[in-house]
Amino acid sequence: MPRNTAPKTKKLESMNLTALRARYREVVGEETRSPNKKFLIRRIEESLAAQKRHSPTRRATAAAPSAPPAPAARAATSDEGTQPASQYGRFAGMSLEALQAKYREVVGRPTGSSDIPYLKWKIREAEAGRVPVGPRPEREVKVREDGKRVIPLSFDAEDLAVLDKAWRDAGIPSRTRFFMRAVHRELTAMGATEAAARFAPKEEE
């Protein structure tokens, strides 16, 4: 394992699920609802490693001779004096907006990522067939034998532990009963009395 991997992993492990999903969105460029912190950390580290491997700076450094480059080989600056994006390859001169549009065209879904090396890498990977393309499939909703549907709810593990302690301390018999009561109370407060009636607490035996 590279020497600098452990500190990064430790930092990611210290994040709660909400912060980790935000970091996932920033690095991977996609939304996720996964509650699996190990999966999120692994994907973040893989994306960071891939970005580093494919970054133009890394490739240019590896290929550069020991002598300093000739003045003519230096990248020109814009009229404002800022350093432009990579000046070689088929992505040369493409703005962030153009790369995001190309990502949407090739990968088949929009991205909120502003990481240019990552966008270039993902476009190349999609064109080579090494990553899934197209819209993310919706999770299939499970239907039980009694006709009831199971909907996904995800919470940070620490938050869920606090929540469970609260309803147990209040004498509520189950988590399901707690959520039913909460939904009934919220619908009633909204004035949706007909909908609220469907979630009215049953008499305790």
Answer whether residue 141 is part of any domain.
no
- pLDDT tens for each residue of 106-159: 999 888 888 888 888 889 889 988 888 888 766 555 666 677 777 777 778 888
Give the per-residue pLDDT at 40. Answer: 85
Q: Is the confidence at residue 176, as pLDDT, over 90? A: no
Q: State the Cα–Cα distance between residues 180 and 196, nearest whole angstrom.
A: 10
Q: Is the confidence at residue 7, as pLDDT, over 70? A: no
Answer whether residue 132 is part of any domain.
no
Compute and round to an integer the Cα radius of gyration of the chain.
25
- The residue from 111, 127, 143 where one domain ends is 127
At 143 the three-state DSSP class reads strand
Give the per-residue pLDDT at 22. Answer: 83
Nearest residue to 89 via CA among 99, 79, 101, 78: 99
Answer whether residue 74 is part of any domain.
no
Domain count, the chain: 2
Co-location of 121 and 183 in the same domain: no
Co-location of 48 and 112 in the same domain: yes
Answer whether residue 97 is part of any domain.
yes
Question: How many Cβ atoms are within 10 Å of 192's Cβ, its own excluded?
Answer: 12
Give the per-residue pLDDT at 86. Answer: 44
- pLDDT tens for each residue of 9-25: 778 888 888 888 888 88
Highest mean pLDDT among 3-17, 38-52, 69-83, 85-99: 38-52
Burial class for 113, CB neighbours closer than 10 Å (0-12, 13-18, 19+): buried
**In what helix (H) or strand (E) does residue 142 lie, and over which residues does it extend?**
strand 142-143
Q: State the Cα–Cα distance between residues 103 and 125, nearest whole angstrom.
A: 11
Nearest residue to 16 via CA among 150, 122, 157, 139: 157
Answer whether residue 44 is part of any domain.
yes
Co-location of 104 and 176 in the same domain: no
- Dihedral class, residue 36 (left if φ above 0, else alpha if ψ from -120 to 50, else beta): beta
Domain with 197, as residue range(s), is 155-205
Co-location of 165 and 120 in the same domain: no
Co-location of 112 and 168 in the same domain: no
Co-location of 106 and 54 in the same domain: yes
Nearest residue to 15 via CA among 160, 156, 113, 115: 156
CA of 158: how far to CAs of 10, 13, 136, in Å? 18, 13, 28
Co-location of 160 and 112 in the same domain: no
Co-location of 121 and 203 in the same domain: no
Highest mean pLDDT among 23-37, 44-58, 93-107, 130-144: 93-107
Give the per-residue pLDDT at 97. Answer: 92
pTM for the model stands at 0.33
Q: State the Cα–Cα distance between residues 94 and 87, nearest whole angstrom.
A: 9
Co-location of 27 and 111 in the same domain: yes
